Structure 1
Amino acid sequence: MTKSKLLEMNNVGIVVESLDKAISFFSEIGLTLEGRGMIEGEWAGRVTGLGNQSVEVAMMVTPDGHSRLELSRFIKPTTISDHRTTPVNSLGYLRIMFRVDNIDELLPRLTKHGAELVGEVVQYEDIYRLCYIRGVEGLLIGLAEQLSNQTTTDVLEDA
C-alpha cells in the first residue's frame, strides 16, 4: 500500500454568529466569496460528531486562489462555547495571519467594520511590519506587510 501524501491545506474554518458581517469584514481584507449555502442532515453530523446538524457555510478565497477560509454559522445544534475573547496564548487558540501590501491603509478600513488594534504595529527586523487586530466578532487576525524578499522561514532556518 502506498503511503498517503499531503496535497494541500484546503481551508481554515471559523464559527461565527453573523455570516453577513464576517463576509463583509473578510472581503475588506481582500478575500472573495466563493460560495455560500446550507449543510444539513445526519450525514454532515457523522463527520463532525454533532449528529443531525444544520449549518450555513460561506467559503472565502484569497486573491491567489490557494487559500480558503470557511465561515460557519451553526443553526442546529447551537454553539456551546465561545473562545473569541481568550488571550492569544490559550491552548488551541486560533488566529489567522494575512499578508497585505499596506497595513497603514487597511487598518482604518477595518476599523469601520469594528476592528480594534490589539497592541501596536511593530517592525520585525527588515522583513515585516506586523500587528494583531480583534476583527469581526472579536476574532484575532494578524496582518503582515512584507518589507523585503526575506521571510520569517528564512530567519528561522538560519537560527
Structure 2
Amino acid sequence: MPDDQDNVWLDAEQQRIWRTYLSGVARINEHLNSALRSFHLDLNEYEILVTLSESPAHEMRMSELAAGVHQSRSRLTHTVTRMEQQGLIIRCRTDEDGRGVLARLTDEGMDLLVEAAPTHVQSVRDILVDVMSPDDFRALGRGMTAVMAVAD
C-alpha cells in the first residue's frame, strides 16, 4: 500500500464534489433508464440505436460501435445479441473484407428509436438540462470536454 506522503488526497470540498458527482450520475442514469423502460429499452440499448441511426446506411463495424457507445466489445456483443433477438438490429459480415462484423439497425429498431426519442429527450431535460442554470450547464460541458481530452 502506498505511503500517505505519496498521495495527494482530495480536500474536503473536492471529496464532497466527487461524491456528489457519483451520486448525480447514478441518479441521472436511473432516471433515464426508468423513462426508457416503457419502451423495453435501457440507456445502453438506446445509445446503440442512436449511434447506428446516425451512421451511414445505419450500420457500423462492431468494434467501431463499441468505441462509439463506450462499451467493451464483450458487453456490446451481449447487448447486440439481445437486441438482435428482439428484431432491432441484425449482424452481418462486411463486404469489404469478409472478416468484420457489422451491426445494422432494422426498420423495427428505427421505428422504436423514433417512438422513444421524445420521451428520452424530455427525461434528459427533466433530470439535467432544466434543473441547471444555463451557465452551470455550459460549465458541465466544459468540464466533461476536459475529461474527454485526457488520453487513456
Give me the TM-score of the superposition, normalised by structure 2. 0.25
- From the two aligned structures, give the one with the greater helix fraction: 2
Q: More strand by proportion, 1 or 2? A: 1
Report which structure shows greater RCO (CA 8 Å, sep ≥6): 2
Give the alignment's TM-score, normalised by structure 1: 0.25
